[in-house]
């Protein structure tokens, strides 16, 4: 299942700088996208979402950008903090009102260096 | 903040045995899900449950798997006869009518 791809398995960023995590998808029917953060031994924690009617959504230090024509989304974290070090997953789904099934990327491990 | 709770955190079982993984979703949520993550692989959808019935299931969710909401609070995943390849982290999730899904901390299932 390669419908959602995160091509960078890891990313290292200096504290205070911007972290950019990328995600690509292949299914043009996807119309809702989520970003999750995951620490070891914990479940995924929801960060931010975006629907296909928008191209940007912002929540504090986190901004998600959606480029529908390129089937690409990205998560920007500014400024990055050491506590942001975790694995980040993007997930995509479709189905109109009844969202049931999300496809996850393989994750990007972010390391924010103090 | 309300959270999804899962028990046990780690379950070890022998091949061929039945296991039941338990979840307590967030109380006002309507949709319930099971996902799993085999070590080194993606988080993958197993099943969704709404209004006391399965609303969608993946090809992984074969006759060996079943889900149940036995009362107003618990949501269970049963694997009837476990196989080695069932070893994975199993995540329960719940949501309101719209996303996002809220995940529990998972149950690590080890089949020996």
Read off the pLDDT of residues A8-45 as tens digits, 9 standing for 90 and up: 999 999 999 999 999 999 999 999 999 999 998 899 99
- Give the pLDDT confidence score for residue B97 in this predicted structure: 79
pLDDT of residue B84: 97
How confident is the model at residue A96, as a pLDDT? Answer: 60
Q: Regarding the domain delimited by B5-111, which CATH topology (the fold level of the hierarchy) does it fall under?
A: Immunoglobulin-like (2.60.40)
Domain boundaries, chain B: 5-111
Determine the distance in angstroms separating the CA of A70 from the nearest CA of chain B, rounded to an integer.
23
A32–B31 C-beta distance less than 8 A: no
Touching check for B7 and chain A: CB below 8 Å?
Answer: no
Reading the block at residue B75, the tokens are: 């949501």
Tell me the average pLDDT of chain A.
93
Whether B1 has a pLDDT exceeding 80, the answer reads no
CA angle at residue B26 from B25 to B27, to 5 degrees?
Answer: 105
Are B30 and B99 in contact by the 8 Å Cβ rule? The answer is: no
Residue B88: partners with Cβ closer than 8 Å, 6 or more residues away = B36, B37, B38, B39, B108, B109
Contacts of A103 in chain B (CB under 8 A): 45
Cα separation, B40 vs A55, in Å, equals 31
- Round to whole Å and give the CA distance between B65 and B33: 13
DSSP codes, chain B? ----EEE-SEEEE-TT--EEEEEE--TT--EEEEEEE-TTS-EEEEEEEETTEEEEE-TT--TTEEEE--SSS-EEEEESS--GGG-EEEEEEEE-SSSPPEE---EEEEE-
Whether pLDDT at B88 is above 60: yes
User: CA-to-CA distance for B83 and B57, rounded, in angstroms?
Assistant: 19
Pairing of strands B43-50, B31-37: antiparallel
Collect all residues of chain B within an 8 Å Cβ-Cβ radius of residue A99.
Answer: 31, 95, 98-99
Is residue B70 a contact partner of residue B13, using CB atoms and an 8 Å limit?
no
List, as ranges, residues 12-31 from A with C-beta within 8 Å of B.
Answer: none
| pLDDT tens sequence across B11-51 | 999 999 999 999 999 998 989 999 999 998 999 999 999 98
Nearest CB among B6, B43, B99 relative to A44 is that of B43
Task: Tell me which H or E stretch contains A92.
Answer: strand A86-93
| Residue ranges of domains in chain A, CATH in brackets | 4-96 (2.60.40.10)
């Amino acid at each position: 299942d390669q419908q959602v791809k995160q091509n960078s398995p890891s990313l290292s960023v200096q504290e205070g700088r911007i972290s950019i995590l990328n995600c690509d998808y292949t299914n043009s029917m996807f119309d809702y996208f989520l970003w999750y953060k995951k620490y070891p031994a914990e479940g995924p924690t929801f960060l931010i979402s975006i629907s296909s009617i928008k191209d940007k959504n912002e929540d504090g230090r986190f901004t998600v950008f959606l480029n529908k024509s390129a089937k690409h989304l990205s998560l920007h974290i500014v400024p990055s903090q050491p506590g942001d070090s975790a694995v980040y997953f993007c997930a995509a789904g479709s189905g109109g009102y009844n969202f049931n099934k999300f496809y996850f990327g393989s994750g990007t491990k972010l390391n924010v260096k103090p | 903040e309300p959270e999804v709770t899962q028990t046990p955190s780690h379950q070890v079982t022998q091949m061929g045995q039945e296991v039941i993984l338990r979840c307590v979703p967030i109380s006002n949520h309507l949709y319930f899900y099971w996902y799993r993550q085999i070590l080194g692989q993606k988080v993958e959808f197993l099943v969704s449950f709404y209004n006391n019935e399965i609303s969608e299931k993946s090809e992984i969710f074969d006759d060996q798997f079943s889900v149940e909401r036995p009362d107003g609070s618990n949501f269970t995943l049963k694997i009837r006869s476990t196989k080695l390849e069932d070893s994975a982290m199993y995540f329960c999730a719940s949501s309101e009518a719209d996303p996002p899904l809220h995940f529990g901390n998972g149950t690590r299932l080890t089949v020996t």
